[in-house]
Amino acid sequence: MLDVAVAYNRYKFIGFEFLTWLWFTIENDQAYLKKLQEDLASLDLGNRVVLENRQSEAMETVTIKGDDAGLEEGRLALKKGAVVTEMNLLFKFGDQKWQFSLKGESLGVANLKTPDAGPVESRDDLEGAMLEKTYLYDKAMNFVYLIFYDFIKHRISKDWHHQIVPQIRKWIAV
Amino acid sequence: MGLLSSSVSITRYKVEGRLPEPIIETVAAGLKKNTLIDVDDETVESAIGWTSVDTPFKPNFEGSSFVVGPHFFFSMRMDKKNISSKIVKKMCTQQMAKKLVESGREYLSREEKKQIKDAVIHALTLRVPATPNVYDLIWKYEDAELWFFSHQKAANEALEILFSKSFKLTLIRLFPFTAAMLTAGLSEAELDSLSFLTPTSFTE
């Protein structure tokens, strides 16, 4: 395998394309996401999206944030050739909610908020809370990677350029 | 405890290699050998080592205290003494003035100035307590996976070195390429295709 630092930089575009594809999928194919994870109630964009346009000489960054922020500027940036580099996501399993930011280049999960774990009053409670939190983090991490693994199979298949990219282009152009 | 905070950041690693049996005793030995040593009363400026997740200022790896359910929970602590350059400058100026008065000379040599600065830093290092930074982790041994609760570059790099030194195992950070390469279950042909990927343009 390539040197890790070299691979990180050479292939960071995979993560940006993953997030761009994910935005497209959230808006256009929730049924597909629910097929991946049966107990998923919903997956939505949260309160922050960061896009970068590396096509021009000087890199342009567009950040959209706020609970009620419109995404028009983000769509406009996509039209100009930008890709998504960071995205806040909100998903629900049943009536429980998870929210976090996902960075494209690292797949790093930041500001992860899970449903509450039980209160800690004794050593036994502490161990219980640690296991409960691990389960709750697992739910988020497994879901992120489940979607990513599915994406990467599409990304290296012929479908990517023949079917998926044309659909994304059409969505961006609207 | 960081991992029980209301909001956390997680870096995911794949752990390459297996430990010799008995596993828990081997992990305990690695943790004890590299437990953080307090440097508050030492002339050392920084220290890095393992500590307990529930008592980060009193490390204890006796028995199987770091084992909870099927996972290992412990923390990395990085202590650093922050000595202000302005305080160093002030104390050096005072010491140099004192030495000039005592010696009756008008100037100090470069070597004398260096000795004064070294002595000032030495004295301050003994007096200034180290600022601790604690980073929790969960090692899911059976899954060959580790979650580190920080995205800070310096902390992640320190973890990779300390982990390798303690357990003779390699941590591989999972980012899109390594996650696809090592954990996505791709076939040989798919792995070949992965290496040849180039960026897609989403605009025509």
ipTM of the complex as predicted: 0.90
- In chain A, where are the structural domains located? 4-169
How far away is chain A from the Cα of B96, in angstroms, using its nearest Cα? Answer: 47
Comparing alpha-carbon positions, the chain A residue that sits nearest to B204 is A169
A17/B200 Cβ within 8 A: yes
B99-to-A129, B103, B107, B110 alpha-carbon distances in Å? 60, 6, 10, 13
How far away is chain B from the Cα of A114, in angstroms, using its nearest Cα? Answer: 8
Tell which of B200, B201, B204 to mutate to test the A interface (max A CBs under 10 Å). Answer: B200
A157-to-A154, B94, B140, B169, B189 alpha-carbon distances in Å? 5, 71, 32, 34, 11
pLDDT tens for B136-176 read 999 999 999 999 999 999 999 999 999 999 999 999 999 99
Cα–Cα distance, B101 to B89 (Å, whole number): 18
Helix (H, G, I), strand (E, B) or coil at B15: strand
A77-to-A19, A39, A62, A84, A107 alpha-carbon distances in Å? 14, 33, 7, 9, 22
Chain A 39-98, CB below 8 Å of chain B: which residues?
78-81, 83
Cα–Cα distance, B176 to B186 (Å, whole number): 13
The pLDDT value recorded for residue B190 is 93
- Does the pLDDT at position B1 exceed 80? no
Taking CB atoms and an 8 Å cutoff, what residues of chain B touch A105? 175-176
pLDDT tens for B17-56 read 999 999 999 999 999 999 999 888 788 889 999 999 999 9
Cα–Cα distance, A36 to A32 (Å, whole number): 7
How far away is chain B from the Cα of A13, in angstroms, using its nearest Cα? Answer: 6
Comparing alpha-carbon positions, the chain A residue that sits nearest to B151 is A108
The pLDDT value recorded for residue A94 is 87
Taking CB atoms and an 8 Å cutoff, what residues of chain B touch A173? 204
User: On the CB side of B67, how many CA atoms lie within 13 Å of its CA?
Assistant: 13
- Does the pLDDT at position B202 exceed 70? yes
Predicted TM-score of the model (pTM): 0.89
The pLDDT value recorded for residue A110 is 96
The pLDDT value recorded for residue A145 is 95
A112/B181 Cβ within 8 A: no
Helices (H) and strands (E) in chain A, counts: 7, 5
Helix (H, G, I), strand (E, B) or coil at A57: coil
The pLDDT value recorded for residue A71 is 82
The pLDDT value recorded for residue A136 is 95
List the pLDDT tens digit at each of the 174 positions of chain A: 678 888 898 999 999 999 999 999 999 998 999 998 888 888 999 989 999 998 777 788 999 988 777 788 888 899 989 999 999 999 999 889 999 999 999 999 999 999 987 787 877 788 889 999 999 999 999 999 999 999 999 999 999 999 999 999 999 988
Tell me the backbone φ, ψ of residue B140, rounded to 5 degrees: -95, 85
Where is pLDDT greater, at B89 or A59? B89
